[in-house]
Amino acid sequence: MKMASSFNKLHILLCLLFATQTTMTRGQTRVDFYGTTCPRVQTIIQATVQSAFQTNPGVAAGLLRMFFHDCFVLGCDASILLSGTSTERTARPNLSLVGFEVINAAKSQIETACPGVVSCADILTLAARDAVVLAGGTTWQVPTGRRDGLVSQASDAVNLPAFNDPISVQISKFRDKNLTAQDLVALVGGHTIGTAACAVFSYRLYNFSGTNQPDPDINPTFLPQLRALCPNGGNASTRVALDTGSVNSFDTSYFVNVRNRRGVLESDAKLLSNSTTLAFVQKFSGAMGVPQLNFGVEFARSMVKLGNTELKTGSQGEIRRVCSAIN
């Protein structure tokens, strides 16, 4: 009888311990979530991204931007990958996104290796990390375990940070995702790779705020270079490097350019208009006399924070069979 009583007590304690652990891990991601269920997932994604990068290095910026645009709308739930009428992909800020074929290719191989296990949301999150590493950035461990969302509406894209957002709006949009001003500056540092169409910044060059003058925040020595790339009335779809002189390298030169008033987007230039964001630009750019921050390390930390906003895990959402459609 004593032995049975002791067994029951032990059983109750183990159940309580399991329940506590379950409560602690529910709604969270963790590193190596697929360690036993799909151990080759990271290898497959890395190889797929690398193959695409070797053909077109610009795909790195495309995958990183896609990750941002996904996470800022309903969290990192692969809602950006759904195709169809009035989905997020059809919203104006998302029309220039590239790299969907890379995610689809990785998903196809993963479904062959371990069907129904790995979410498209995790594939995109891992692919964004791999893209940064291929462009020369610091690697980091990516917590996984996300589920794919069931909702994708173009109207929700209004929450995305915009190229002409004042700094107060930028800070507010990031704060809504539980991200600080430091996270904002670190993540905007992703502009160290990638390009922008003349259409989204040429107004700064010729008729800023209806003045028929250029944006005074543009360095006068930089203005002729931008005007040569985007002549007044020229091809609005021409693409220009966001980080002049280092378009395909994940480095700190973007912050040096911003500090020297050579930011291409108005939102980049506005980082200097706030004392807090300005301080982080200086810390990331290596400004003399300023305590430095390691951009690669801080970018990685902010990426993990962004990737864990508005999580869908456990029984929420689903594991899509294909990334472009709900099951």
Q: CA-CA distances (angstroms) from residue 139 to 63, 130, 310?
A: 15, 8, 23
- Residue 191 known to be catalytic: no
* Res 28: pLDDT: 87
- pLDDT at position 6 is 43
Confidence at residue 159, expressed as pLDDT on a 0 to 100 scale:
86
pLDDT-based confidence at 13, cuts 50/70/90? very low
CATH top class, domain 34-159:
mainly alpha
pLDDT at position 288: 87
Tens of pLDDT, residue by residue over 194-239, are 999 999 999 999 999 999 999 999 999 999 999 999 999 999 999 9
Q: In whole angstroms, what is the distance from residue 131 CA to residue 14 CA?
A: 43
Q: For a pLDDT cut of 70, what percent of the chain falls above it?
A: 92
Query: Which among 45, 48, 69, 93 is annotated as catalytic?
Result: 69
Q: Band the pLDDT of 27: cuts 50, 70, 90.
A: low
Average pLDDT, the chain: 92
Would you say residue 26 has pLDDT above 90?
no
Compute CA distances 238 → 125, 164, 309, whole Å. Answer: 29, 19, 34
| pLDDT value, residue 201 | 97
Read off the pLDDT of each residue in 55-68 and give the average, rounded to a whole number.
97
- What is the average per-residue pLDDT within 296-324? 96
Contact criterion met (CB below 8 Å) for 139 and 303: no
What are the extents of the domains in the chain?
Answer: 34-159, 167-305
Question: How would you class 310 by CB atoms within 10 Å of its CB: exposed for 0-12, middle for 13-18, buried for 19 or more?
Answer: middle
Checking if the pLDDT of 134 tops 70, the result is: yes
User: Domain 167-305 falls in which CATH fold?
Assistant: Peroxidase; domain 2 (1.10.420)
